[in-house]
Structure 1
Amino acid sequence: MCGAAQATAELDRLNDRDLSDISGQGGIYLSGDISINEMGGPIENSYFGRCDDPDKKCGARLAYRLKEDGGWMVLDEIRGNFSFEGLTLRVRTIDSGFGGDGELFSRDVMEIGLPNVVRYNDVRFKIAGSNLPRPTAPGFRQTDILAVEMQGEVIMEGNLLVFPAGNP
């Protein structure tokens, strides 16, 4: 005769004193798969535009401002397949290393952990500068700086550190 033993546990509140003895790590663990108007995929996507019309934009757009009163840097017409498993986000203190500069810096940075399962396939995008974030805004002007197309699969690993700008 087979039987299963049941285990029950009661949840109890922890007070501040009990919590002070507990340590752990904070952060975020992400996994996902994103496809944006893949090459060889459907020619139309109502959100990202038609890819068969050379006069129209096709793909996703990421615009960010470098200074409050400055222009916009743009990753435009992003297309391809991106997948990742175990991508991590956490805050890390830099207070040593970097050829002695870490001790002088002595601040927190955001660390994006890139495990060896970050992949992208058949990707293309443009790096550009623009006066406005949205191409549909009146008076919009954009200057394309560089067009990138990568066919095949790329696997990334390591950590990407995002340093804050300005003085502490």
Structure 2
Amino acid sequence: MTAVDDATLAGISGQGGIYLSGDISINELGGPVEDSYFGSCEELAKKCGARFAYQLKENGGWMVLDEIRGNFAFEGLTLRVRSINSGFGGDGEVFDGDVLELGLPDVIRFHDVRFKIAGSSMARPSDPGFRQTDIISAEMQGNVIMEGNLLVFPAGTP
């Protein structure tokens, strides 16, 4: 590698984005009973696993992915900004803006995965006044292989 000055760099064009690979295990079925970070899944009635909470709007309720367990492996997951100005049955031209594109490579695997999608009054179950309504519970035994792109559109118009 060599240093490039600003004048030379100004004449170079490229493509921005992020390329990720990894393997994540969260309270994997058949794995260790005790996990010091995500808690013990030894008791069937006890909640365990990871939790992602996101607030839909300022001072609004929370949507959560809760009790996430299993093994997730991916190679070549990409993250970039994509301009949408055509397609989508004519809606792309009307939208004419940027979206976040999560590229799912040929190798993204889920193995023995469990999770819940829920609505929650608080981000953490330990917060005072916590209430949660489970919307859907999912369990996938075996392997699931995914590919394609996931586009995340902003809620408002650009």
| Kept in 1: contact 2:95–2:157 (CA 8 A) | no
| Kept in 2: contact 1:124–1:150 (CA 8 A) | yes
2:58 counterpart (68, 76, 92): 68
User: Residues 60-106 of structure 1, C-alpha deviation per residue, up to 9 Å, x if partnerless?
Assistant: 00111111121111110000000000001111100010011001101
- The normalised TM-score by structure 1 is 0.89
Q: Which residue of 1 aligns with 2:143?
A: 153
Q: Percent identity?
A: 73
1:12 CA drift (Å) = 4.9
Q: Report whether the alignment pairs 1:32 with 2:47.
A: no
1:28 CA drift (Å) = 0.5
Q: Which residue of 2 aligns with 1:83?
A: 73
Moved beyond 6 Å, runs of 4+: none
SS in 2 for 1:44: coil
Taking the aligned partners of 1:49 and 1:98, their CA distance within structure 2 comes to 44
Q: Report whether the alignment pairs 1:47 with 2:37.
A: yes
Say what the alpha-carbon RMSD is for the aligned residues. Answer: 1.4
The letter of the residue matching 2:5 is L
1:21 CA drift (Å) = 2.2
SS in 2 for 1:99: helix
1:127 counterpart (114, 117, 132): 117
- The normalised TM-score by structure 2 is 0.94
Count of aligned residue pairs for this structure pair: 158
| Kept in 2: contact 1:49–1:56 (CA 8 A) | no
1:138 CA drift (Å) = 1.5
Consecutive unaligned residues in structure 2, runs of 5 or more: none
The letter of the residue matching 1:15 is D
Taking the aligned partners of 2:124 and 2:34, their CA distance within structure 1 comes to 20
SS in 2 for 1:45: coil
Taking the aligned partners of 2:36 and 2:121, their CA distance within structure 1 comes to 25
Q: Determine which structure has more spread, i.e. the larger CA radius of gyration.
A: 1
1:15 CA drift (Å) = 3.1
Which range is displaced more, 136-145 or 105-114?
136-145
Taking the aligned partners of 2:71 and 2:92, their CA distance within structure 1 comes to 36
Which range is displaced more, 51-60 or 128-137?
51-60
1:52 CA drift (Å) = 1.5
